Amino acid sequence: MNSNTSTPSRIRSYVRREGRLTRAQVRALETLWPRFGIVPEGMLDLDAIFHRQAERTLEIGFGNGDSLADMAVAEPEHDYLGIEVHRPGVGHLLLEIEKRGLENIRIINADAVQVLQHHIADHSFDRVLLLFADPWPKKRHHKRRLVQPDFVELLASKIRTNGVLHLATDWENYAGSMLAIMEASPSFLNTCGPGQFSPRPASRPLTKFERRGQRLGHQVWDLVYTKPGLGR
């Protein structure tokens, strides 16, 4: 049963700026999507979709999907659900699934807020990842940032007790905003102590963009929170 979590603002956190699909991505969407893609209708039965019960991770906005594929390779006993609005990224991840022979990933090509509100049961995930979401750097666009108090509480309702919410960004201003919002949340505890950022968890792969940023001296801020039980 879904909780009565308040509905987050419907100001979209993304703009569809899709690049051109490659021929390989078009083929992947035509031939692999029927097997690994999900078109949400009603409440999703994730056990039936993955054909098993397992620890389950949700990644929101997986980009080109390389990191998601890396995690699925490293943890074949875990199931991974990725949500991404941009079709080239979906196509790229489908190709990675094919190349690596992965069976523990499923993909939704839709607005994550809509999916969470209407198609995901409460307490569905052991871990939720929101890595390098659009920072909307201009102040007048900050209201478009995905990490807002209502959205954090929506995520809390979908995470199991003692589950983890992991955020990361390479924009210092957004990092500070996310930290303030997370510290104010009644649903989460900072795994590194109040007001602290986290070292990069070993479970989060370095992307080629992050490696390039490191060479240029760019910093990344990770935030790792757990959802404690009632006796926190």
Q: State the catalytic residue, choosing from 70, 111, 122, 134.
A: 134
Q: Any idea what DSSP says for residue 161?
A: E
Kind of pairing, strands 125-131 and 56-60? Answer: parallel
In the sheet with 105-108, reading across from the earlier edge strand, the strands are 37-38, 105-108, 79-83, 56-60, 125-131, 159-169, 221-226, 189-190
**Sequence-separated (6 or more) residues with CB below 8 Å from residue 160:** 123, 124, 125, 126, 227
Is 66 one of the annotated active-site residues of the chain? no
What is the per-residue pLDDT for 156? 98
Q: For residue 71, which of 90, 92, 56 has the smallest C-alpha distance?
A: 56
What is the per-residue pLDDT for 225? 98
CA distance 225 to 228: 9
Domain spanning 45-226: CATH 3.40.50.300: no
Other Cβ atoms closer than 10 A to 33: 17
Domain residue extents for the chain? 45-226
What tens digit of pLDDT does each residue of 34-50 get? 999 999 999 999 999 99
Question: Which pTM does this prediction carry?
Answer: 0.89
